[in-house]
Amino acid sequence: MAPRLENKTAIITGGASGFGKATAIRFAEEGAAVLIGDLNADGATAVANSILSAGGKAVALRMDVTSAEDWEKAVGIVMERWGRLDVVVNNAGTTYRNKPTLDVTSEEFTRVFEVNVRSVYLSVRAAVPTMQKNGGGSIINVSSIGSVRPRPGLVWYNASKAAVTNATKGLAAEYGPQNIRINSLAPLLSGTGLFESFVGVPDTPENREKFIGNVPLGRLTDPNDVANTALFLASDEGKFITGVNLEIDGGRGV
Q: What is the model's pLDDT at position 193? A: 66
Q: Please indicate whether residue 3 or residue 208 has the higher confidence score (pLDDT).
A: 3
Collapsed DSSP state (helix, strand, coil) of residue 245: strand
Backbone angles phi, psi at 26, to 5 degrees: -65, -45
* Residue 151's pLDDT band (cuts 50, 70, 90): confident
Predicted local confidence at residue 1, as pLDDT: 76
Residue 207, in any domain of the structure:
yes
At residue 88, what is the residue type? V
Report pLDDT digits (tens) over 229-243: 999 999 999 999 999
Domain that includes residue 234, residue range? 9-247
* pLDDT higher than 80, residue 154: yes
With respect to residue 254, please indicate whether it lies within any of the assigned structural domains. no
- Asked whether residue 139 is domain-assigned, the answer is yes
Provide the pLDDT for residue 209. Answer: 87
Give DSSP secondary structure letters for 67-105: -HHHHHHHHHHHHHHHS---EEEE-------S--GGG--
Which amino acid makes up residue 201? Answer: V
Is 204 inside a domain boundary? Answer: yes
Percent of the chain at pLDDT > 70 equals: 99
Whether 21 maps to a domain, the answer reads yes
pLDDT of residue 25: 99
**Which band of pLDDT confidence, cut at 50, 70 and 90, is reported for residue 156?**
very high
Q: Tens digits of per-residue pLDDT, 17-73?
A: 999 999 999 999 999 999 999 999 999 999 999 999 999 999 999 999 999 999 999
Average pLDDT over the chain, rounded to an integer: 95
Residues with catalytic annotation? Answer: 157
Give the per-residue pLDDT at 254.
83
The CATH code of the domain that includes 158 is: 3.40.50.720
